[in-house]
Chain A
């Protein structure tokens, strides 16, 4: 089949009982699913930010190993973290880390059985987003002031 132009083309080729082919409809799936709902968007973001933070943890290992190796190795890692790419990476990492932290607290509250009704889900979801912005900005303010 060709590339789909319309969600109504989401069909499968089946056969009638007499053997003649027929296009039967499929249930609505990704092509008609609203991907930008707060609930699903924050859910997949929690996973993505967790994976990003794993990369950040590897950089933490690099930083610690370099500090133990000597001044030259440490100068290299400090140079990278202070470079344009490094600062961009650290800024993204700070945002991802705060998001994963706050969304993780939200998950712990759910695990404790709290906050399952839809208004609360949206309220805590917005709190996670606002909190991520505020705490990321505060972290970088502290960083710039101590620089």
Chain B
């Protein structure tokens, strides 16, 4: 064992003695989740402003105009990025809300998984729609 059992008071690990005995760890990937939410939010800032501004200045556009707009290569790429980042950000955000309010653990896990499945399916459906029009 590499544990020093001497009289040195220095703490070799950041975990508490109780936490080490229980050995459960955090069981979550908190840091990656935290960063993912921040990075997607920064990327979504220009993307959502572009999307809202584009739609707000062409309200009630007919079908062929909408198809032409979605199918434009630049718009299609930005839309795909918007879709992926939006649903990544939503899944991460709703997960935190659920984890804070839903109990017990089983119902919490079921709700988080349901949100992740729904976000994945919605993102795939939206991406397929953009690709069908653009390709």
Contacts and interface: CB of A to CB of B under 8 A. Distances in A.
A147 B60 contact: yes
A54 B126 contact: no
Given A58-B122, A139-B56, A67 B129 contact: yes
Query: Quick one: which of A54, A105, A144 has the most chain B CB within 10 A?
Result: A54
Interface residues of B, number: 33
A146 B56 CA distance: 8
Interface in B20-58: 38, 41-42, 45, 48-49, 52-53, 56-58
A120 B26 CA distance: 34
Interface stretch (B9-17, B90-98, B103-111): B90-98
Contacts of B94: 50-51, 54
Most buried by B among A47, A51, A61, A139: A61
Chain A contact residues, majority secondary structure: helix
B129 A68 contact: yes
Contact of B63 (A71, A146, A147): A71
A78 B63 CA distance: 9
A26 interface: no
A78 B64 CA distance: 13
Contacts of B125: 61, 65
Given A64-B126, A64-B130, A68-B133, A143 B56 contact: yes
Q: Which 8 pairs show the lowest CB-CB distances between chains A and B?
A: A68-B129, A64-B129, A61-B126, A71-B63, A143-B56, A74-B63, A68-B132, A65-B129
21 contacts: A54-B93, A61-B122, A61-B126, A64-B70, A64-B83, A64-B126, A64-B129, A64-B130, A67-B63, A67-B129, A67-B133, A68-B133, A71-B63, A74-B66, A94-B52, A105-B45, A111-B38, A143-B56, A146-B58, A146-B59, A147-B59
